Chain A
Amino acid sequence: MDKLRASVLMRHEVGLHARPSVKLTKLAKAFESRIDLGLSPDGPWVDAKSIVKVMATRAPKDSTIYFRAEGTDAKAALDALVTLVDGDFQDGR
């Protein structure tokens, strides 16, 4: 089965830090699909559901975040994650 892919520019002032990472991994965990995150289109990839791994990417402000997903809800997962990052992690606050 092919992996779906998406990418989005992260503008968050301090990069992919604690608060954004908590939101991102929580959202990723809401989906069944396997979801990977990377800072380049060719990886290396980390599990987007793991805050330990996501924080370890040390993604700074203005990085492009790449996602790939595989599973029944892969499309919905990518849409939701891109919306979160694009909306600067402002989920309803």
Chain B
Amino acid sequence: MDDRTHRAAHRIEGRSAAPGIALGPLVRLAAAKHDIRQYRSAAEEHKALVDALAASHVDLSALVSEVGDAEAEAILSFQIALLEDDNLAAPAFALITGGEVANRAWSDAIAREIASYDGADDPYFRARASDLRDLRDRVLRHLAGEADQIVPSGVIVAAEDMPPSMFLATDWRDGGLVLRRGSPSSHVAILARSRGVPMIVGVDVDHLENGRDALLDGEAGLLIVDPDTDTRAAYCQRHAEQSEFRQAFASFSGPALTASGELVRVMINVTGLAELEQLDPAHVDGIGLMRTEFLFQGCETLPSEEEQYQIYRRMIEWAAGRPVTIRTLDAGGDKPIKGLTQTGDINPFLGVRGVRLSLRHLDVFRVQLRALARAAVAGNLKVMIPMVTVPEELDRCRTLLEQALEDLRREGQEAQMPPLGMMVEVPAAALTIEDFNADFFSIGSNDLIQYVAAASRDEPQLADLARPSRAVFGLIGHVVNYADSSGRETSLCGDLAGDPEQVAALLDQGLRILSVAPRALGPVRAAIARYSGSGAFSSEVEPGSRQENVSNQESRAPFRSDRTGKGSSA
């Protein structure tokens, strides 16, 4: 045994199923072995299976009432529905009548179902085989009179497969999961992703030894057994960062408040419906930016009004009353679309893009506006126009939207006029913001920064210039000031909002709505919670700590505009 403790690190590659880092001892789960039952009589075997099915139903019903999230509930509901369907156990009862012992009758009957799922073409259907195995084993445990297998916390579990119900009954704090079977679309993988448990699949678990020190890198799909000191140190560092990040996630419930108790609304930027499936709408204050380019990309034909309407409506329904800001097609620049955007623009970022393109392709734009006016009936929709430079562009969009609404009503279709706002990303628009007839503003910091600095965000040599500067914060402050004074909302939906280092500087400008990528929700909420207000709000803070706050802010936001300078010098 002794030589083994000095064994070299062993790297095992699998496939990533859920990101994250876990460090801990390996625990190898053996497949459950169920005692061989002694056959009594057909009547007793029949009764044993009836009882085991009923007991399993009780287990799952109890578990489903505890899990508290929609994904887990759906998985368990599927197993419960299977149990409630007489067709599932019917072949088993037939075998029992023919003289088979209950456990084998049940295994054989379910084996046929499992085999049919295993042989399916669709990976989603194949993945359901794991749910059936889960159910099979639960009933077998009851037939054998065995208790549920308990998995300790803080370990890296290695197993052939893991039933979803066992996953849900396990405390995964600081733990991870390595499976031979399973796929990124298995129920366990879906659960692991939604609960932040690192997981990889496709690993030959037979050669893994219980108790060995291990590192799991869920993102890279890598398991390192007996890691060397350097590797371990590097991963410990990443693990610590991850813990901090998760803590921030844990504080998700309730509104995002600054240290001084001010409410900040944190919304998400989304690109498609798939992203929303992983998210609980209760954790966000709405969708601050829904891009629509994905509808137009990679398709042979442009999306129809009906297709667009269905997707917009589902987004709005997902948000359940929270605001959903949908941006009209923002093609051009770095987002070409076949058959629509011009090729050979000399400088695409200064070319025909955003609203400039839409107003030159009214046939396409009208379809999108009609779909949006119809979807507005479904909930709290706002429509945002990208790349607005002069007030006339927005005015034309408003006229077109009103026309679309009129046409729809004449056709007898339900439709509604949503608030119409603009993205503020062109410096000319930011400077003359009071000239625009917009219902709301959303600052697109990525383009604003590159247009203000005349430096491409994709040019690595100019990274120092293409940064949020005092000029940028000055423009942001100007827009927020005007919006506040005229009773309009302003949000910021660029990458700037998702950078925890910049959050204080943005709040200093008076912004109280940020829209960020879903993965930035935790860090941004944590940064908001640390923010104790610019000087203007510091009367409740003790002098000592206030001093600290001011210097903190200065280090975070070296280029604050006058607007906040005034506050902190008070």
Which A residues lie at the B interface, using CB under 8 A? 11, 13-15, 17-19, 21-22, 25-26, 47, 50-53, 55-56, 58, 60, 88, 90, 93
Contacts and interface: CB of A to CB of B under 8 A. Distances in A.
Interface string B113-133: 100100010101100100100
B237 interface: no
The binding surface of chain B is classed by DSSP as helix
B116 A52 contact: no
A18 B314 contact: no
Given A51-B81, A51-B82, A58-B120, A22 B125 contact: no
Contacts of B74: 18-19, 22
23 contacts: A11-B310, A13-B273, A15-B122, A15-B124, A17-B125, A17-B128, A18-B131, A19-B78, A21-B81, A22-B74, A22-B77, A22-B81, A25-B85, A47-B87, A50-B87, A51-B84, A52-B88, A52-B113, A56-B116, A58-B120, A88-B314, A90-B317, A93-B70
Interface string B312-324: 0010010000000
Nearest to B71: A19
A19 B128 CA distance: 11
Contacts of B82: 51-52
Interface residues of B, number: 24
Given A17-B124, A58-B120, A22 B78 contact: yes
B85 A50 contact: yes
Nearest to A60: B122
B131 A58 contact: no
Given A15-B124, A17-B128, 18 more contacts: A11-B310, A13-B273, A18-B128, A18-B131, A19-B77, A22-B74, A22-B77, A22-B81, A26-B81, A51-B78, A51-B81, A51-B82, A52-B113, A53-B87, A58-B122, A60-B122, A90-B317, A93-B70
A31 B84 CA distance: 16
A50 B70 CA distance: 23
B271 to A, nearest CB: 15
B359 to A, nearest CB: 32
B301 to A, nearest CB: 15
Residue from the set B87, B131, B273, B310 with the largest chain A CB neighbour count within 10 Å? B87
A51 B85 contact: yes
A50 to B, nearest CB: 5
Given A52-B87, A52-B113, A14 B81 contact: no
A59 B122 CA distance: 10
Nearest to A47: B87
Interface string B75-99: 1011001101111100000000000
Interface in B428-443: none
Contacts of B131: 18
A15 B81 CA distance: 18
Contacts of A93: 70
Contacts of A18: 74-75, 78, 128, 131
Contacts of A17: 124-125, 128
A37 to B, nearest CB: 13
Nearest to B77: A22
A13 B75 CA distance: 17
A52 B88 CA distance: 6
A52 B85 contact: yes
Contacts of A11: 310
Contacts of A90: 314, 317
